[in-house]
Amino acid sequence: MAITAVIVVVVVVAAGAIVVLNDDDSDSSDAAIASQLQLYGNANDDSTIDSQDAEIIENIINQEEGYTLEKYPLADANNDGAVDQEDLDLVNKMINRETGTVVNVISLDTSGNTTVVSVTYPLRNIVTYATNVQMPVLYAGGAQYVAGFFSSTYDVAEKALIDNAKNFGASGRTIDDAAWNSFTSYASTLDGGVGALIADYSGIKQITSARVSDLDAADIPLLIFSSADTTDEITTVLTLGYLFGTDCEQTAVKYAQTSWNVISQVNDAIAGISDDDRQTYIALTMFIYICQNDSTFNTTAATAGGIPYYKVNSTFASAYEGTGSLKMGSTEALSNYSDVDILLNCRSMDWGLSDSSEVNALIIDTWDHYSKSTSYLAYFAGFEDKLVYINNLLPGAVKVAYMAHFMYGDKLSLDWADGVLQDFIDMGLDPLEGQTTSSILSYVTQDTYNAAKAATFS
């Protein structure tokens, strides 16, 4: 089900015909809208707000044949259930990028259902939670508009954030009461208030109902994106770029277009491979956590052309139902799944590596990582030649490129994947400023580990 949705989106993008897709498989009455630019008013569901959107709205108002709200649900710019002059007036303000315009953003609620959140354009004084959304904020050029963040682990990749905003002192993925109180106190004194708290859905358990009430009381919008997934990450960057204003919008559009081009190249390269011959994969995170079937971490490799292992193994599918990840209960957790083709382990690794010795040290630490005197490699015994770590901090399309290479190396070369990374470096994006393909560890395999170990201990 998930892989079908991803393929549909990609085919639509590759064909250049962007449409609204309703998630008919959803149990929720709020069937998700798979938009490019996640804004009401983006009537034709493309990557920008322009005269084409206004024209569609005018045609609906004038009851032109073929133009209805049902066909163009995003034409309802003010989200009041009807398309009328008020929507046209609002979209014209959005086209003109008028300061102070209240726009309606397609977001998630804390239960994962589609919702609509109103924010003021251009979005300023934002607060971020979780690296999975902080990186899209930075890729969109939004560091200058971040007032605060709850935590940061990556001194180089998140430098633009660290240098420009207040750290509320959360510990890793946990927002304790002290950090939350620091945020609410700061928000109450911030000139102009907080434009929005932006969070990634993978960490949403930290935004409790009591904290949602705090946000409501302070009139702070909560924007939630599922940006751990590559296709959602692209739309997140695109949407944030528009919301931050024209200085970021061009960067975000280029980021999105480049990303879609990469996905299109992958689709073209593997188009002749039947489903039976596609590579099956198990996705992991945090070293030894297996991503559940509907985890947003489990879909990027499907965008890269892989088949999620739960699609071909019902026992695995039953064991890993859900949207999060499960820690392996023992070193035997994978023992019954030896027919999987590849293990793709998402591991965030900071960059700015100055020479080969630093690269080798990070490779060895990742592959030989220990916790409480236990080597994580023990969990992958017999799977070493199938295990690949992919740097989770990379732009989503770059992760797709490397995953596609490791699954279909005869179709997509490592040089090609490195070239995709170079394309994003060349954009001048804040997290990648001053980096090269040599200063970023994009992946770790058994071969790179063996080479690093030989170079280090020879």
Confidence of residue 373 (pLDDT cuts 50, 70, 90): confident
pLDDT tops 60 at residue 5: no
C-alpha 178 chain-centroid distance: 28
pLDDT the model gives residue 169: 94
pLDDT tops 90 at residue 27: no
pLDDT tops 50 at residue 372: yes
pLDDT tops 80 at residue 13: no
**Fold exhibited by the domain 272-457:** Rossmann fold (3.40.50)
Q: Mean pLDDT for the chain? A: 92
d(CA 135, CA 346): 15
For residue 336, give the nearest of 319, 358, 357 by alpha carbon: 319
In the CATH scheme, what is the code of domain 101-244? Answer: 3.40.50.1980
Task: Give the mean pLDDT of 365-380.
Answer: 92
For residue 2, what is the DSSP state?
Answer: H
- Dihedral of alpha carbons 444, 345, 137, 131, sign: negative
pLDDT tops 70 at residue 18: no
Q: What is the DSSP string of 300-339?
A: HHHHTT-EEGGGT-HHHHHHT-SSSEEE-SSTTTTGGGTT
Task: Give the mean pLDDT of 292-301.
Answer: 94
Lowest mean pLDDT among 6-10, 56-60, 127-131, 178-182: 6-10
pLDDT the model gives residue 374: 85
Measured CA angle at 217 (ends 214, 218), to 5 deg: 85
pLDDT the model gives residue 56: 99
d(CA 273, CA 73): 36
Task: Give the mean pLDDT of 364-369.
Answer: 96
Lowest mean pLDDT among 17-31, 265-279, 319-333: 17-31
Task: Give the mean pLDDT of 257-280.
Answer: 97
Q: What is the pTM of this model?
A: 0.90
* Burial of 81 from C-beta contacts in 10 A (0-12 / 13-18 / 19+): exposed
Confidence of residue 20 (pLDDT cuts 50, 70, 90): very low
253-to-257, 284, 390, 447 alpha-carbon distances in Å: 6, 30, 25, 37
pLDDT the model gives residue 202: 87
Q: What is the DSSP string of 351-399?
A: ----SHHHHHHHHHHHHT-EETTEEGGGGGTT-GGGEEEEETTS-HHHH
Confidence of residue 412 (pLDDT cuts 50, 70, 90): very high
pLDDT tops 70 at residue 43: yes
User: Per the structure block, which two tokens stand in for 135?
Assistant: 């990186």
Please report, as a single letter, which amino acid is at residue 77. A
Task: Give the mean pLDDT of 148-163.
Answer: 96
pLDDT the model gives residue 172: 76
**pLDDT (tens digit, 9 = 90+) per residue, 422-440?**
999 999 999 999 999 999 9
Q: Name the residue with higher pLDDT: 219 or 173.
A: 219
Task: Give the mean pLDDT of 182-208.
Answer: 96
pLDDT the model gives residue 264: 97
pLDDT the model gives residue 220: 99
C-alpha 361 chain-centroid distance: 28
Task: Give the mean pLDDT of 162-175.
Answer: 92
pLDDT the model gives residue 6: 30
Task: Give the mean pLDDT of 75-90.
Answer: 98
Task: Give the mean pLDDT of 410-433.
Answer: 98
pLDDT tops 50 at residue 19: no
Q: Do domains 101-244 and 272-457 have the same CATH topology?
A: yes
At how many degrees (to 10) do helices 230-244 and 2-15 cross?
50
d(CA 417, CA 439): 15
pLDDT the model gives residue 458: 80
What are the residue ranges spanned by the domains of the chain? 101-244, 272-457
Task: Give the mean pLDDT of 252-260.
Answer: 96
d(CA 56, CA 297): 36
